[in-house]
Amino acid sequence: PSKMSALRHGMVSRLVKCCNAFDNDLLRSVKQGAALLPAPVHRIRLPCTLDMINYIVHRNTQVGASMSQVMLATGVQMGFFLCLRSSEYVSKRMVPLMDTHQFLSTDVQFVLRDERYTLINSNQIRHYTYTDFKTVKFSMQHAKNIRNGFGVPIWFSTHDNNHLPVPFVELVFQWSKHSIRFDADPFLSFRVQDRLTCLLYTDIQDAVKSSAAHFGFDTTTFNTHSIRMSAPTIARAANLSVTNIMKMGRWKSLPAPVLY
């Protein structure tokens, strides 16, 4: 079904009139029927538990942790709290592709506590303190289901209702402050003597599987997508509405979030 939909979308985008053939009742029924088939065994994935997420973060933010470790912890928390696909925060290779879906340094901005709500890019906050800011803005520019040129902003307050720092935001701030990046560099990367190091897909994959093994789970049922599945699963267990879960994960089709 996904390939048929993609083919039809390609035809529509090229203004080819024959795309109407895909509206045939028989083809529509075939797609609906195929979509109900159970997933192949190799595609079954389980969500990370909150303990698994916290285990990865705690393990990689100890005193003396390397830049790569803190980058990993930051990426895992971003994947969890922003409900991200792996392509939206990691690279498949050390030098990311030009059409990457990842957050760039300029896509993560902190809002100053001033009358103008000034936005400061994440790679330009070295001389600021955490209390200088009131919120952080994540702008999703290139993710799936987002129209080209239409970003989706996601905001987090720096402090909770008790005026205490929000741990996730504080970690993002610390990473932003201590990592050297250019504007066009991925947010989850850093430079040492102009050499760029990016958070890689394999780093997240290994961390998730190691965490699963630590808690005695079957590692073959976990991968990077397990992080994206985590927050919606926890939210649904807490009786959050399906409508809000669809907004959380930016899903347009009801069957997708229902799987979680």
State pTM to two decimals. 0.81
Angstrom distances, CA of residue 187 to CA of 96, 105, 132, 173, 226: 12, 4, 20, 11, 21
Tell me if residue 197 falls in helix, strand or coil: strand
Tell me if residue 163 falls in helix, strand or coil: coil
Predicted local confidence at residue 91, as pLDDT: 84
Predicted local confidence at residue 5, as pLDDT: 60
Predicted local confidence at residue 115, as pLDDT: 86
Q: Is 174 exposed, middle or buried (0-12, 13-18, 19+ CB in 10 A)?
A: middle
Exposure string (b/e) for 141-171, b if CB count within 10 Å is 16 or more?
bbbeeeeeeeeeeeeeebbeeeeeebebbeb
Model confidence pLDDT, tens digit, residues 163-202: 999 999 999 999 999 999 999 899 999 999 889 999 999 9
Q: Which residues of the chain have pLDDT under 50?
A: none
Tell me if residue 88 falls in helix, strand or coil: helix
Model confidence pLDDT, tens digit, residues 103-130: 899 999 999 998 888 999 999 999 999 9
